Structures are given as structure tokens and as C-alpha cells.
Amino acid sequence: MRKYLAVIDETDEARVALRFAARRASKTGGTVEIIVLIPPPEFVQWGAVQAAMEEEARLRAEALIAQVAGELMEEMGLRPAIAVEQGEPVAVVRKALQERDDVAALVLGAAASGAPGPIIAYVSAEAGSLPCPVMIVPGSLTDEALDRLS
């Protein structure tokens, strides 16, 4: 079974990538796995403040998960597998690809403008040695365009 691995955060381009991955999975009889990124915590001198910041980031990630999983279930009938990972984005993606040998494609969203993010820069440089294809979805695509292309 095809598994599309989508790496998301709170950006618009991440949602575009997830929609594309879900549409591909739906049309090919596959599944979607979502990795929700939590940025690494900034060092704060006071432990209680740092713990509160980490808890706030985890709560935002859980809210994002609930929202996107609900949308996938409602719109496409897909129940995604979900992993919440904290750390540097490139390290998280590298580890995920090493641990999962059943990924048919890594699906990422590119920002509509500006320089590529760290994950896209990494996969572009390492594409020849990655264990699966990479799909980079333009963040400027509308839902209608995504539906047509997927």
C-alpha cells in the first residue's frame, strides 16, 4: 500500500502539501502519514518558563492535528497516521525516512514566494540518495488546481 508522508507545520504551504498527499492517497488506495513539526525549544534560563513554552507548542501542534485530521476524515474519508516530532526540521525528516521503509513519497509544500525552507533545501541537495521520491507542491496552488493535478 502506498504511504504518502507529509511534513506539516502551521504554514499555508504545509496545508497545500497535505491536501495533495491526501488526494493522491485517496486516488491510489494509499494512506497518509503526517509528521507535525514542533520547533526545538529555545533555551530559557528559567525552567518553568521553558516548560510552559514547550507545553504551548505541543498544544498548538495538537490543535493543528485535530483540525487537519478532521478535514481529511470529513472530505476524503482518510484516517491519517500522525506523529508529533520536536527538533530541527531536517533532522526530523532524515530520521523519519530512515525509520520508515514503506513510504511511497515524501510530500512537502514550497512557500509561494521567497527562498526554500530548510527541508526543501535538504531534499533538493540529497534527492539522489533519498529512499523515496519527493513531491514538492507549490504553496500558491488553489484547492481547485490541487484537485485537478492530483
Q: In what order do the strands lie in the sheet with 31-38?
A: 81-86, 31-38, 3-8, 103-110, 134-138
> Residue 119: what pLDDT?
92
pTM: 0.82
What confidence tier does 8 reach under pLDDT thresholds 50, 70, 90?
confident
Q: Work out the mean pLDDT of the chain and round it to a whole number.
A: 85
Domain residue extents for the chain? 3-149
pLDDT digits (tens, 9 = 90+) for 70-122: 777 677 777 888 888 888 999 999 999 999 889 999 999 999 898 888 999 99
Q: Output the CA angle 109-91-60, nearest 5 degrees.
A: 60
Region 2-30 average pLDDT: 89
What confidence tier does 6 reach under pLDDT thresholds 50, 70, 90?
very high
The C-alpha atoms of residue 92 and residue 21 are separated, in whole angstroms, by: 19
Q: Output the CA angle 88-89-91, nearest 5 degrees.
A: 70
For domain 3-149, give the CATH number: 3.40.50.620
The C-alpha atoms of residue 62 and residue 85 are separated, in whole angstroms, by: 11
> Residue 71: what pLDDT?
76
Residue 117 has what DSSP assignment? -
